[in-house]
Structure 1
Amino acid sequence: MFMGKRKLQEDILSNKWYYSFMKRLSNLTISKPQKLSMQRARCASKETLSNYYIELGTIMTQNNLHDQPQKIFNTDDESALQTEHNPNRIVHDIVVKPQSVTSPRSSNVTIIGAGNAFGNAVPPYYVFPGVKFDRALLLDGTPPGSDGQCSKTGWSNSDIFKTYLENHFLKYISHDISATPLLILFDGHCSHVSLTLQDWAESKNIILFILPPHCSHILQPLDIGCFGPLKACYNREAQLFMHRNPGCKITRFNIGQMSCSPNQKGLSAQNLTSSFKKSGIYPFNPKAIDTTELVPATIYHKATSDEATESTMNHSHISQDVENTLNQPDQRNGPSQELSKSATLTIQQFEFTISAPKEHDILSDHDESNSQPLLLPLENMHPDI
């Protein structure tokens, strides 16, 4: 405008100006912002991550795990595959409206995956919707060693997660109970929280470490670099299936077969090792997380003690197993005030470590920005629990 090339009444930021501007500044690019829920944005703060790495570093130092990547595992059951896939992008004429036939939407099929910092993956464990588990049909074409079961919704719960660890996870790892403890990191969703899991972990010399709530997108290795490629590869397999089988639809009986190759590519040794490194777990690096990931949390105020107390009173996502266990008297020694007091303290700690509800849960708006990571089993927990 100063040079007289543009009139005052004309638009200043025209398309010509934009393309010239992008051409001059080669360091700029175009990308679609990542969707971030309010809970994730609020809880992924510097204070939360600082406390998490202090706690994790202490545990790894005490148990000599800094140089034993084969002993550090991450397990997650947030990967849900649907019969209705997302079509890939295609090149087409501008006058044509592209369409892609997909299968009807039905219940989810959950895959529980696990892998360690050394790059070894545990065969997947499938949770199918339904009541009767037909192993021959549902697990046909799945990766070798795969197993699974059914649930009413197709989602995991505390009983399924415990069964997975006891009967499937331990089958495929090398763990000497009398040697160095095994560290398992997982999110604190209510489907994982169970007091009976603590006794099992102690008996197997396993440390269960719950990640900070709503921070799995930056701290959980499987979420960072494994499940994304898995789902992208599954969508391609589903698209090929629909092209090769006109008139057919994808059901829970062929999801296992179509997820075989995606699971092996998603949980590859390279993806696992790079994901553990990017999350700062192994090699242990508290500064591994890019500070730009924590910027959204700066717009939220810190929760006061009154807000934290109200959040605890109104928490609606405590595992039913925890409530039932705490309400029952000690069957061996009878009810005692000491047990009741210890159980009350335990439930308060569980309140602040339960992670973001998944798509099938109701989201709560309470502030968990000051939550601390919970180490299970708790050293100061009452021995009767």
Structure 2
Amino acid sequence: MPKFDEIRESRVIKACAAARAVKKPNIKRIAREFDVPYGVLHGRIKYGRTSLCGRNPTNMALTKAQDRALQDWADYMQRHYMPLTPAMVEAYANRLITCAKKPRSPVSHMWAYRFIERLPPHKKLAPVRQKVKDVKRIGAEEAGALELWYNNLARVTKTLPPHLVFNFDECGFQPGKGKPQNVISGTEYRSDLPEAEHSENITALECIAADGSSIPPLYIFKGSTFQEDWFHASEQLPEGTITSVSKNGWINDDLALEWLNHFQKHTIDRVRPGEKRLLLFDGHGSHKTEEFITRCLNWDIIPFCFLAHSTHICQPLDGKPFLALKQHFKKENNELSFWGREPAGKSEFLRVITNVRRDAWGSRRILRDGFKERGIYPTDGTAIVKALEKEMPIFDDLVIPDYAIHGEKTPPPEFPSSSSVEATPPKSMEKRLKNYAKCANIPGIQPKHQRNIDRIFQYAEIDAERATIASDTVAKMAAIRTPLQRRKSKRQIKPLSQNGILSIKDANRSIATSALKRERTAKTKLRNAYKKQYGRSPPPSPKPLILPSNDAELANLPDSALFSIDTTPLR
């Protein structure tokens, strides 16, 4: 209320008090005496009217009780980590209006925003941007489990050089898909970039090391056979790049094993005698098969899996490396669409990805930063864990009453009869203890030998405990994986021809051979047409060029094998 209204209202109150003090007040005289309008004072005295500030507003969508209830409900919901959106506020308000005895018109869309603006300051409620996150990821982002994971990783990387710490993951590409970009144009002349309506996904398996190096990738196309158009201008790809096909363009168990063979081939020369390689990967089912893990252990590769649904904060490739690849790939698609006026398709992928990979990963720094920012190498997950702790809610401490003051003791817990855990020690442990007792009571044994016997039994006990833990772990994994395998048994993948892998070098060689066969066929048809037309065979032509299998054979060939001059006179 403005200041002058407050002053006038105070005078009106004093005038009303003076008028009520007498039986027959002279309202005009009292109004002039207190300098208040006659109509206002007359209405207050004769008709019992109140001031505007004291009346209930008639333009309120909700009553005071409804408005207060909605405020309390918003506070209650945010304290239980379910904050309301403006649309929810609008729905709740309309629900209150509908349930009232005298329903009014529903609130407007903007009413919810005005309601949020006039929330009481003491409730500390304000508009906040709520991010979308997978429910499994929310459960995985637990600081304690992540800190333990980093501690276990630190024990492994403590003795490993950076060139032996690897991370591999899949990255999906959609040829012909670009991104919005800013241009200089008028509104009436602006045109949009063409984009592929239906673009198949192509999966790239990339592997990088903590020193900034990488191995040649594996590209998986959707299909059952290889097409020559896919390998157009693919000679510039890194030496050793391989391709494959699958039913849906994704990785499967067989391709994961073939990629592991590819990894062994390109990293075995980095290892010295006694050294091991660390391979970090996500929890995809194809990475955790028995064959995959067994092959890793046989080749002195330490398989190390990220926590479930935590790769978005821990995996190096999911940071700058993949972000740079996708940004450059979309930029390249924009260039092709801008100048060619049609999106690049599947057949241009290998040609496009050559420049994309070179521009994105031309400097090793971006790959090294990927490991450093995620706390993988050097191993330090403090920043990641602290960031999660700030986002975690703070709960009140659990207070447990002390029953000792009542003279009672808490009884020990009883194991249920249906528990699968054995309450008695196994017979192997009893036999070990008996043998140890026999060795400890040997008469005349020297103290030195007794210490050695004690040490042997101590290590044997440790190994037995480790074996027990490992057995329980394997049993739990089998119990969890068995139903999953039953559910996935319906999904069958057709067997791939041979190993399903095709290198870029072999692909280009096959293309060249096919082209040579087509050329021979064309020459045969031309020779037959010549003979049919002229009744004789055409003059002999130079021998067809046969590509050698390697550079050594090419160097040993004489010049006459590569070049020849047709000396047949023209007729």
- 1:165, distance to aligned residue in structure 2 (A): 1.4
Where in structure 2 are the equivalents of 1:111-190 lying within 5 Å? 111-134=204-227, 137-138=230-231, 140-141=233-234, 143-145=237-239, 146-168=241-263, 170-172=265-267, 174-176=269-271, 178-190=273-285
Q: Judging changes above 3 Å, is the alpha-carbon distance between structure 1 residues 341 and 295 closer, same or farther for their aligned structure 2 residues?
A: closer
**Residue type of the alignment partner of 1:47:** G
What is the CA deviation profile of residues 241-274 of structure 1, one whole-angstrom value per residue up to 9, with x for unaligned ones? 112223x442222111111122233334111111
- 1:158, distance to aligned residue in structure 2 (A): 1.9
Cα RMSD between the aligned structures? 3.8
**TM-score, normalised via structure 1 length:** 0.65
Where in structure 2 are the equivalents of 1:175-254 lying within 5 Å? 175-176=270-271, 178-246=273-341, 248-254=342-348
Partner of 2:166: 73
CA distance in structure 1 between the aligned counterparts of 2:150 and 2:222, rounded to whole angstroms: 37
Aligned pair partner of 2:378 in 279, 283, 288: 283
- 1:107, distance to aligned residue in structure 2 (A): 2.0
Where in structure 2 are the equivalents of 1:340-359 lying within 5 Å? 343-347=474-478
- 1:167, distance to aligned residue in structure 2 (A): 2.6
- The secondary structure found in structure 2 opposite 1:90 is coil
Partner of 1:90: 182
- 1:74, distance to aligned residue in structure 2 (A): 0.5
What is the CA deviation profile of residues 70-101 of structure 1, one whole-angstrom value per residue up to 9, with x for unaligned ones? 11000011x10002413232145467775221
- The secondary structure found in structure 1 opposite 2:286 is coil
Partner of 2:436: none
Contact 2:276 2:301 survives alignment (8 Å): yes
Contact 2:193 2:338 survives alignment (8 Å): no
Q: Does 1:52 align with 2:149?
A: yes
Q: Does 1:40 align with 2:137?
A: yes
- The secondary structure found in structure 2 opposite 1:171 is helix
CA distance in structure 1 between the aligned counterparts of 2:232 and 2:178, rounded to whole angstroms: 23
Contact 1:115 1:121 survives alignment (8 Å): yes
Q: Judging changes above 3 Å, is the alpha-carbon distance between structure 1 residues 292 and 96 closer, same or farther for their aligned structure 2 residues?
A: farther
Contact 1:83 1:105 survives alignment (8 Å): no
Runs of 4+ in 1 over 6 A off after TM superposition: 339-342
- The secondary structure found in structure 2 opposite 1:118 is coil
Partner of 1:18: none
Q: Judging changes above 3 Å, is the alpha-carbon distance between structure 1 residues 39 and 76 closer, same or farther for their aligned structure 2 residues?
A: same
Partner of 1:320: none
Q: Comparing both structures, which one devotes a greater share of its residues to strand?
A: 1
- The secondary structure found in structure 2 opposite 1:180 is coil
Sequence identity, in percent?
A: 23
| Structure 2 unaligned residues grouped into runs of 5+ | 4-58, 60-110, 115-128, 396-469, 483-571
Q: Comparing both structures, which one devotes a greater share of its residues to helix?
A: 2
- 1:40, distance to aligned residue in structure 2 (A): 1.9
**Residue type of the alignment partner of 1:48:** A
- The secondary structure found in structure 1 opposite 2:248 is coil
**Residue type of the alignment partner of 1:73:** F
- 1:104, distance to aligned residue in structure 2 (A): 2.6
| Structure 1 unaligned residues grouped into runs of 5+ | 4-8, 15-31, 301-338, 352-385
**TM-score, normalised via structure 2 length:** 0.45
What is the CA deviation profile of residues 124-148 of structure 1, one whole-angstrom value per residue up to 9, with x for unaligned ones? 2101111113477337435222211
Q: Judging changes above 3 Å, is the alpha-carbon distance between structure 1 residues 81 and 206 closer, same or farther for their aligned structure 2 residues?
A: same
**Residue type of the alignment partner of 1:46:** A
- 1:122, distance to aligned residue in structure 2 (A): 1.1
CA distance in structure 2 between the aligned counterparts of 1:230 and 1:296, rounded to whole angstroms: 29
Q: Judging changes above 3 Å, is the alpha-carbon distance between structure 1 residues 231 and 293 closer, same or farther for their aligned structure 2 residues?
A: farther
- 1:154, distance to aligned residue in structure 2 (A): 0.6
Partner of 2:508: none
Where in structure 2 are the equivalents of 1:241-320 lying within 5 Å? 241-246=336-341, 248-267=342-361, 268-289=363-384, 291-293=386-388, 298=393
- The secondary structure found in structure 1 opposite 2:380 is coil
- 1:293, distance to aligned residue in structure 2 (A): 4.6
Q: Judging changes above 3 Å, is the alpha-carbon distance between structure 1 residues 220 and 2 closer, same or farther for their aligned structure 2 residues?
A: farther
Where in structure 2 are the equivalents of 1:14-29 lying within 5 Å? none
Contact 1:42 1:296 survives alignment (8 Å): no
